[in-house]
Amino acid sequence: MSPRAVTASAMAMIARKVSQCLKTERGAHAFSACASVFGSLALWGIEAVGGVLGVLRTGRLPEAPP
């Protein structure tokens, strides 16, 4: 499965799980941040789950490829 397909699948699953959270400004902001991280990882060809775990461990996105 391509990184874009994994990201699309992950975003759909997250959207279903947090749909109630999106009704608040705080929830919408959190979802937006997650979507941004997943989108960046997909553009860089980094596997979504491993990339997110790295972000959670370090608090930073990995270096963008050249």
> Would you say residue 64 lies in a domain?
no
Residue 8's pLDDT is what? 75
- Total number of domains constituting the chain: 1
> Would you say residue 20 lies in a domain?
yes
> Would you say residue 66 lies in a domain?
no
Structural domain for 34, as ranges: 3-58
Using CA atoms, how far apart are residues 3 and 34, in angstroms rounded to an integer?
A: 16
Q: Which amino acid is at 44?
A: W
Residue 1's pLDDT is what? 66
> Would you say residue 44 lies in a domain?
yes
Residue 18's pLDDT is what? 61
CA nearest neighbour of 6 among 35, 48, 36, 51: 48
Convert the pLDDT of each residue in 3-53 to its tens digit: 777 777 777 777 776 666 667 888 888 888 888 888 888 888 888 888 878
